[in-house]
Amino acid sequence: MDYFLTEEQQTIRDLARRVAEERILPVRAELDEKEEFPWAMIHDIAAADLFRVFVPEEYDGLGGGCLELCLVVEELSRACSGVAVSYAASALGCMTLMEYGTEEQKKKYLPDIASGKRLGAFAITEPTAGSDAGNIKTTAEKVEGGYLLNGTKQFITNGGEAEIYTVIALTDKSKGARGASAILVEKDTPGFTFGKKEKKLGIRSSATRELVFKNCLVPAENLLGREGLGFIQAMRLFDRSRPGIGAQAVGLAQGALEAAVDYAEQRVQFDQLLITMPVIQHMLADMAINVEAARALVYAAARYVDSGAKSVTEVSAAAKVFASDTAMKVATDAVQICGGSGYMRDYPVEKMMRDAKILQIYEGTNQILRSAIAVNLRKRKGRTA
Amino acid sequence: MNIVVCLKQVPGTTEVKIDPATNTLIRQGIENIINPFDTYAIEEGVRLKEKHDGKVTVITMGPPQAEAALREAVSLGVDEVILLSDRAFAGADTWATAYTLAAAIKKLEACDLIICGRQTIDGDTGQVGPEMAEMLAMPFIAYVGAIEEIKGGSLRVRRLIEEGHEVVVSSLPAVITVSKEINVPRLPSLRGIMKSKSAKITTWGLADLGVGEDKVGLAGSSTQVIKVFFPQRETTAEMLEGDVPKQVDGLVARLKKAGLC
């Protein structure tokens, strides 16, 4: 398929593919097995300027948008979803800064994000606030000299490895979600420590940790935008970042499809190659149809975000839901086609199946996102948006 | 530091086919790449520049399409690229190639170090580096696996020899050829690729080098390939019979007869 990418977009995609194939693919099984943060890969991604893709030019970036970010994430995820999410989480960690930050804040942090010298992370989830994201308890009390943070964030991607955190905390407890604010917190700020590193089903090379704030004093100038906007900022951020999760899903599904075709081309049963059997052919065809449909929807959503459209909630949710459901199904079918071998760690598809599950859960569970789509559907009486 | 790297664009395969009529490589349908050993030379040049400051100039001799290899070199961080291209350069053997490259290097401002790959994957001779050093009257070190130090006009390297490593100190300027142990070449960067698209490619022909036509290309070559062929391979199997001592005696006798022991 030709998605009419510009020459620059093709260059970005091709380079991301090279990094993925030459640097990530050979070590992905080892990264998964060791559950070790892929710093060497992060350095390779940085050296290739891929962290510059999503940062504006005036801060040492290349000024790309959602589609460019998606192209990189897709290619990285085709090799390893754990590495891809570590990359994407850095973008997530600085998107609120890019949109609401002051010139000074951007100048201070974005060049280091662009060069890949420092990673970013975004923190909203808490033990009491998963899908019910408004139910956060972490507080940021205004005191002399800044904000005093107290509370615990949970399941934070890049936790412990990132150096720049965008944290959503309550500056006004009495107002609930309307009293939430987005605050930048740097690693090594006194009172800011990390809890346990989670042991996960998939994306095991990525770091997922608790952030623990105990009387952590952050300068007042680290507030992003205005007090009380935090929840709205977070929802707006996810509207724009979800195509990225869709791209991660498309890349994973593409990798699983390729692995399944590869296997079917070699495996002989009943004196014939699997690939010549209609039952396998139809499974593979369905996988290919869904991967391409998911890609088309993800790119369309990314382009819609880049167009500056006001309300992107529905299309970005749709892209994330459809692509992640596709990834789960395609990876599961890839294991099925590879049979007993596919279930073994010697083959890449069992890892892909484990990695796929989180895509239906994080950045809005597919159930929550379907609910959001349904709300909009009622508003527009089912007509085309 | 002023560093020159020489590279060659080669077919991206080790299974080259030979045209029996012309005895030259069949290049149709095969993607051209930078000779893999030369990518280590580029990387080492760029690393030395990053460490000691200075400039890396890449030179290649080849047809106009070799420009692609030079643009790739720019994307990897080299500063200047020169293409030596002229009909008169065609058909050169290693001697004429070395002569042409040396003439170009003499034309440049004085350099401190010249780095080449240990050999190409198409010709496989490994001769151009040492020949060029001879023509430039510079010291030469082959199969360099690590540059240990560059200080006060001298160079200390570790080179690979069959029995192990050899540490060699040389004055500069010098010519070295490098092995793949020396580094892991970086991938291009997006900024590098964008820069390479508009990079200026300096092209020098025979007249620019100011050398005689009889010194370059086929005319300047003292060797000529008459025929390229794969040796016939014959395999036969013989089963030795009898008990073990008898089989051993039989085997030893046959090895002796074949001159293998």
Identify whether A314 is part of a domain: yes
**Predicted local confidence at residue A188, as pLDDT:** 96
CATH code where residue A326 lies? 1.20.140.10
Distance from CA of B204 to the nearest CA of A (A): 30
Domain boundary among A73, A95, A118: A118
pLDDT per residue as tens digits for the range B58-108: 999 999 999 999 999 999 999 999 999 999 999 899 999 999 999 999 999
Dump pLDDT digits (tens) for A230-266: 999 999 999 999 999 999 999 999 999 999 999 999 9
Predicted confidence band at B7 (pLDDT cuts at 50, 70, 90)?
very high
Minimal CA separation from A125 to chain B, in Å: 34
- Let me know whether A103 and A148 are in one domain: no
Range of the domain at A148: 121-229
Structural domain count, chain A? 3
Name the domain boundary from A86, A118, A150. A118
Which phi-psi region, left, alpha or beta, contains residue B132 (left: φ > 0; alpha: ψ -120 to 50)?
alpha
Cβ–Cβ under 8 Å, residues B159 and B147: no
In the listed set A74, A95, A118, which residue is the last one of a domain according to the structure?
Answer: A118
CB B26 within 8 A of CB B16: yes
Handedness of CA A315, A321, A326, A327 (dihedral sign): positive
Which of B97, B45, B75 minimizes the C-alpha distance to B189?
B75
Measured CA to CA in angstroms, residue A177 lies from A136, A181, A225, A228, A312 at distances of 8, 9, 16, 8, 22
pLDDT of residue B14: 67
CATH number at residue A146: 2.40.110.10
Q: What domains appear along chain B, each with residue ranges and CATH number?
A: 2-215 (3.40.50.620)
Check CB contact of B261 with chain A, cutoff 8 Å.
no
- Reported as a pLDDT band with limits 50, 70 and 90, residue B152 is confident
Chain B contact set for A47 (CB, 8 A): 186-187, 189
Q: Are residues A236 and A223 in the same domain?
A: no
Structural domain includes residue A384: no
Q: Which residues of A touch B192 (CB under 8 A)?
A: 49
Q: What's the pLDDT tens digit per position in A194-217?
A: 998 999 999 999 999 999 999 999
Instruction: Please indicate whether, in this complex, the C-beta atoms of B188 and A48 are within 8 angstroms of each other.
Output: yes
Amino acid (one-letter) located at A90: S
Which residue, A296, A301, A254, is CA-closest to A66? A301
Instruction: Indicate whether A109 belongs to any domain.
Output: yes
Say whether A80 sits in a helix, a strand or coil.
Answer: coil
Tokens representing B88 are 């008169």
Q: What is the ipTM of this complex?
A: 0.87
Same domain for A138 and A214, yes or no, is: yes
Contact B190 A23 (CB under 8 A): no
Q: Give the number of other Cβ atoms within 10 Å of residue A188's Cβ.
A: 8
Q: Are residues A236 and A344 in the same domain?
A: yes
Task: Tell me what the pLDDT averaged over chain A comes to.
Answer: 97
Minimal C-alpha gap between A5 and chain B (Å): 16
- Per this entry, what is the length of chain B? 261
Query: To the nearest whole percent, how much of chain A has pLDDT over 70?
Result: 100
Question: What's the rounded mean pLDDT across residues A357-365?
Answer: 97
Q: Which of residues 27-86 of A touch B (CB under 8 A)?
A: 44, 47-50, 52-53, 62
Quote the pLDDT of residue A218.
Answer: 98
Q: Is A33 a catalytic residue?
A: no
One domain, residues A215 and A236:
no
* Strand, coil or helix: A223: strand
A241 shares a domain with A176:
no
* pLDDT tens per residue across span B173-214: 999 999 999 999 999 999 999 999 999 999 999 999 999 999
User: Looking at the structure, do residues A241 and A357 belong to the same domain, yes or no?
Assistant: yes
Query: What's the confidence (pLDDT) of residue B121?
Result: 86
Give pTM, 2 decimals: 0.88
Residue A24 domain-assigned (yes or no):
yes
Strand ranges inside chain A, DSSP E = 120-123, 139-143, 146-157, 164-170, 180-186, 192-197, 208-218, 223-224, 268-269, 272-273
**With contact defined as beta carbons under 8 Å apart, do A376 and A314 qualify?**
yes
Chain A: residue nearest B76 by CA?
A48
Check whether residue A213 and residue A254 sit in a common domain.
no
Whether A11 and A101 map to the same domain: the answer is yes
pLDDT of residue B27: 67
Residue B230 reports pLDDT greater than 80: no
Mean pLDDT over the full length of chain B: 92
Q: Is the same domain home to A208 and A240? A: no
Q: Is the pLDDT of residue A315 over 80?
A: yes
Q: Does residue A69 lie in a domain region? A: yes
B chain contacts of residue A50, beta-carbon cutoff 8 Å = 190
A250 and A325 in a single domain? The answer is yes
Instruction: Specify whether the backbone of A49 is left (phi greater than 0), alpha (psi in -120 to 50) or beta.
Output: left
Same domain, A222 and A256: no
- Confirm whether A1 is domain-assigned: no
* Distance in angstroms (rounded) separating the CA atoms of residues B246 and B239: 12
Q: Distance between CA atoms of A187 and A314, rounded to whole angstroms?
A: 35
Q: What percent of chain A has pLDDT over 90?
A: 98
Q: What is the DSSP string of A134-197?
A: T----EEEEETTEEEEEEEEEEEETTTT-SEEEEEEES-GGGGGGGEEEEEEETT-TTEEEEEE
